Amino acid sequence: MCRVLHNNRGLSLIELVVTMVILGILASLILPSAQMTSTRVKEIELKRNLREIRNAIDEYKKNYDKAVQPNLPPPEGPKSGYPIDLQELVKGHDFGGVVKGKIKFLRRPLTDPFNPPKEGDAPWEAWGKRSSEDESDSNSWGEQDIFDVYSKSDGKAIDGTKYKDW
C-alpha cells in the first residue's frame, strides 16, 4: 500500500474571500458605533463645559452681590454684577472686602469641542455670549457683561437638538 500525503499549508481562495467578507461585515458594524461614541464623548464634554462656565458666572454674581453692601463701596465692573469677559473667571476678581485678594472661578479656559478656537484666537472667542441686557435667544452679544454662554456650532446633537440651543 502506498500512501500519498498531501501537505496543504496555504489557504484556498474561497477561504480568503469568506474571511475578508466576514471582516468587512464586522468593520461596517463597528465603525458607526465608534463614530457615535466619539460624538457622544464630545457632547458630554460640551454639556460639562457649559455647566462649569455657567456655574462660574453664577458664583461671580453671588460674590458681587455679597460685596454690594450699604457700608462698602461697590466693586469695580459692570453694575449688573456679571463678569465683563470670560477670562475674568480664570484670572479672578477682587470684590473688595468680601475676602482678601482675588477670587478665581475657573482653573483654566474651557473650550467648545464642536467649535474649537481658531489658531491664534483665545479659547473664549469660540463661545457665543449673551449679556444681561440681551434677549434670551439672541445670537449677538451686547458686550455689557457676560450673563450666559452657548455653543456657536451649527451641528445637531444625537437627540436632534442643536448644540447652540443647549
Q: What is the pLDDT of residues 135-153, one digit of tens each?
A: 877 777 878 889 999 999 9
Residue 41 pLDDT grade (very low, low, confident, very high; cuts 50, 70, 90): very high
Q: Is the pLDDT of residue 86 over 80?
A: yes
Integer angstrom CA distances of residue 145 from 81, 117, 131, 162: 8, 21, 5, 25
pLDDT of residue 57: 95
User: Which cell numbers in the block locate residue 139?
Assistant: 445670537
Residue 62 burial by Cβ neighbours in a 10 Å radius (0-12, 13-18, 19+):
exposed
What pTM value is reported for the model? 0.76
